[in-house]
């Protein structure tokens, strides 16, 4: 039977019955928590789980509670989730160190972003900008800031992307993605600088370039420097960077971009060739496909890709 209101709730008794903040096996505790789902209303469960976040210390139990709260996405959960993210007023059990709570805090950042409450920006930035913080937590905070979409975070995210002394390139990648999601034009110069940096095919920053291109594609800047950076990236040693550049240049929809993409039909990499065929079709339709098929200039790979598109198009018409 589901109870109807919060007035009669005694959080301490419920916590005791669920063996919260004890040394009992986590799986047993989680089974007891699952039983609560059948006993209380959504409003009551939110209040109960918010309370449990403040007193529980086992990682597995906390992760389960956070996932449940994330399903409700109630604004009242922001404070306890934030306190746990910052490890504020939450003294770890003597048996566990701060690193033990990494997965818990990662889940907190994700749940916070889903609340879409812009008051959380400062806490997320605090963790992101703390270079002594675990990189997984910093990554999750960068991701959360992108999902939140608050332009207050743009300056800090730009600083992260620009920071060549940043130990984790993954954090710079996540910051680049976040900038693309936020969509603030102030990010253009920072993203372009990433593309202008010359690195070899096996360089660890290749993926950062890919993410910078994807972000620029979202921003769709009418910006000569951005266009030139994408143009130069068509010569990058990494095929995926070239593919991403093709996709980004499609957004410009002008003759120069079309001709640059068309030149990529002659690229040495087959996947780059295929993506160039697809991009040209998206820009101009069937005519360019027929030209590719009938020209001796282009590879069999290009011709087959063009034929497949025409064949699938015909099937869709049927």
pLDDT tens, residue by residue, 129-144: 999 999 999 999 999 9
Per the domain annotation, does 282 fall within a domain? no
Per the domain annotation, does 231 fall within a domain? no
CA-nearest of 53, 17, 23, 52 to 35 is: 17
Q: Answer with the one of 115, 141, 158 that is the final residue of a domain.
A: 115
Torsion region of 299: left, alpha or beta (phi above 0 gives left; psi -120 to 50 gives alpha): beta
**Mean pLDDT, to the nearest integer, of 254-280?**
97
Which segment of 218-222, 231-235, 242-246, 307-311 scores lowest on mean pLDDT? Answer: 218-222
Give me the percent of the chain exceeding a pLDDT of 90.
80
Is the domain of 147 the same as that of 63?
A: no
Number of domains into which the chain is organized: 2
Give residue 98's pLDDT. Answer: 82
pLDDT at 145 > cutoff 80? yes
User: Which letter does DSSP use for residue 76 in this model?
Assistant: G
Per the domain annotation, does 237 fall within a domain? no
Q: What is the model's pTM? A: 0.85
Is the domain of 30 the same as that of 74?
A: yes
Is the domain of 3 the same as that of 72?
A: yes
Whether 123 contacts 82, CB under 8 Å: yes
pLDDT-derived band at 198, boundaries 50, 70, 90 = low
CA–CA separation, 84 and 54 (whole Å): 8
Let me know if 95 is exposed, middle or buried by CB neighbors in 10 A (0-12, 13-18, 19+). exposed
CA–CA separation, 120 and 143 (whole Å): 13
Whether 207 contacts 173, CB under 8 Å: yes
Quick one: tokens of 177?
Answer: 């993605």
Of residues 219 and 106, the one with the higher pLDDT is: 106
Q: Answer with the one of 95, 115, 135 that is the final residue of a domain.
A: 115
Whether 202 contacts 217, CB under 8 Å: no
CA–CA separation, 234 and 212 (whole Å): 14
- Mean of the per-residue pLDDT values of the chain: 91
Angle between helices 206-219 and 239-249 (to 10 degrees): 10
Give residue 202's pLDDT. Answer: 43
Q: Answer with the one of 192, 220, 248 that is the final residue of a domain.
A: 220
Domain span including residue 31: 1-115
């Amino acid at each position: 039977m589901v109870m109807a209101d919060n007035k009669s709730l005694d959080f301490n008794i419920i916590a005791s019955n669920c063996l919260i903040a004890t040394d009992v096996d986590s799986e047993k505790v989680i089974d007891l928590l699952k039983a609560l789902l059948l006993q209380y209303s959504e409003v009551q469960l939110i209040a109960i789980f918010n309370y449990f976040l403040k007193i529980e210390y086992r990682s597995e139990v906390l992760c389960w509670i956070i996932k449940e709260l994330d399903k409700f996405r109630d604004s009242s959960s922001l404070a306890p989730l934030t306190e746990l993210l910052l490890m504020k007023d939450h003294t770890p059990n003597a048996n566990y160190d701060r690193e033990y709570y990494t997965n818990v805090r990662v889940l907190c950042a994700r749940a916070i972003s889903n609340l879409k409450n812009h008051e959380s920006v400062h806490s997320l930035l605090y963790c992101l900008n703390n270079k002594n913080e675990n990189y997984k937590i910093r990554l999750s905070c960068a991701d959360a800031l992108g999902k939140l979409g608050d332009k207050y975070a743009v300056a800090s995210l730009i600083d992260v992307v620009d920071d060549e002394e940043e130990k984790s390139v993954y954090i710079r990648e996540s910051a680049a993605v976040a900038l693309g999601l936020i969509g603030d034009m102030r990010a253009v110069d920072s993203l372009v600088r990433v593309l202008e940096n010359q690195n070899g095919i096996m360089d660890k920053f290749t993926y950062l370039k890919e993410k910078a291109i994807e972000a620029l594609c979202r921003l769709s800047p009418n910006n000569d420097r951005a266009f030139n950076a994408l143009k130069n990236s068509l010569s990058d040693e990494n095929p995926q960077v070239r593919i991403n550049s093709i996709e980004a240049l499609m957004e410009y929809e002008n003759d120069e971009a079309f001709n640059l993409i068309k030149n990529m039909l002659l690229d040495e990499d087959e996947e780059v060739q295929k993506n160039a065929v697809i991009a040209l079709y998206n820009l101009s339709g069937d005519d360019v496909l027929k030209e590719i098929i009938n020209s001796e200039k282009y590879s069999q790979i290009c011709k087959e890709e063009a034929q497949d598109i025409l064949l699938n198009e015909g099937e869709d018409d049927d």
